[in-house]
């Protein structure tokens, strides 16, 4: 069995739910064959989220780590290619902090690439009938904070562990008037199961076009 740590966030920004956590719970309750998945909820708070992530890694001792976050407005599940070393918060986090142009890790590299086979992960989700894409920006809020913090932790302390970050769209309940894109949480969970299976079995990523012009 491959040990997997799957994290999602608590609600933020006035929302009552966070589909990243809802999807994580569904996957942990019915994981893919061959994977032992532990779901952990992270606080949507700069600093505290990385403390909670480290504690979860130390407890679970995973071979794969997949952190999830909400990206309202996106049309599908998006696998993040890169996280950057900057916190620049458009809104306060759940503790009221709003850092501007501060490093996630002082003195750390400018960025970390995901160590998951990101294009294979996207392809696996599409094959499962789930809208998916590769993303080249995880933003500069707590999601990127965790994505970068995870990359730094793996690179500096756990080089044998692979991990990455994925954004999920709003759930239909968050946009009941249909004014913005949404994807049912159970469909997101289906995609995440396919993604995790691909990540666990694939070392060399697909060489296919997933680039963007802007």
Residues involved in catalysis: 80, 143, 167
Is-contact 162 63, C-beta < 8 A?
A: yes
> Helix, strand or coil for residue 172?
helix
Structure-block tokens of residue 163: 């991990």
CA distances to 6, 20, 68, 192 from 84, in Å? 21, 21, 16, 23
Whether 149 contacts 50, CB under 8 Å = yes
CA dihedral 107, 51, 35, 202 (to 10 degrees): -10
Distance between CA atoms of 25 and 2, rounded to whole angstroms? Answer: 18
Phi, psi values for residue 69, rounded to 5°: -145, 165
**CA–CA separation, 88 vs 5, rounded Å?**
27
Q: How far apart are the first and last CA of the chain?
A: 40
Strand order in the sheet with 77-80: 35-42, 2-9, 64-70, 162-168, 77-80, 132-135
Identify the residue whose tokens are 């996630």.
104
């Amino acid at each position: 069995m491959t040990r997997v740590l799957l994290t999602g966030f608590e609600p933020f920004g006035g929302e009552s739910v966070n589909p990243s956590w809802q999807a994580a719970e569904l996957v942990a309750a019915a994981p893919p064959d061959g994977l032992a998945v532990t779901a952990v909820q992270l606080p949507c708070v700069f600093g505290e989220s990385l403390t909670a992530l480290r504690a979860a890694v130390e407890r679970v001792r995973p071979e794969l780590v997949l952190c999830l976050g909400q990206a309202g407005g996106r049309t599908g599940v998006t696998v993040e290619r890169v996280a950057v070393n900057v916190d620049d918060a458009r809104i306060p986090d759940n503790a009221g902090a709003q850092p501007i142009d501060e490093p996630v890790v002082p003195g750390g590299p400018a960025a970390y690439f995901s160590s998951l086979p990101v294009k294979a992960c996207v392809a696996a989700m599409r094959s499962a009938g789930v809208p998916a894409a590769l993303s080249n920006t995880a933003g500069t809020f707590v999601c990127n904070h965790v994505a970068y913090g995870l990359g730094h932790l793996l690179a500096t302390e756990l080089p044998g562990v692979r991990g990455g970050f994925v954004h999920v769209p709003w759930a239909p309940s968050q946009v009941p008037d249909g004014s913005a894109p949404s994807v049912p949480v159970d469909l997101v969970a289906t995609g995440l199961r396919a993604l995790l299976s691909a990540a666990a079995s694939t070392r060399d990523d697909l060489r296919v076009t997933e680039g963007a012009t802007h």
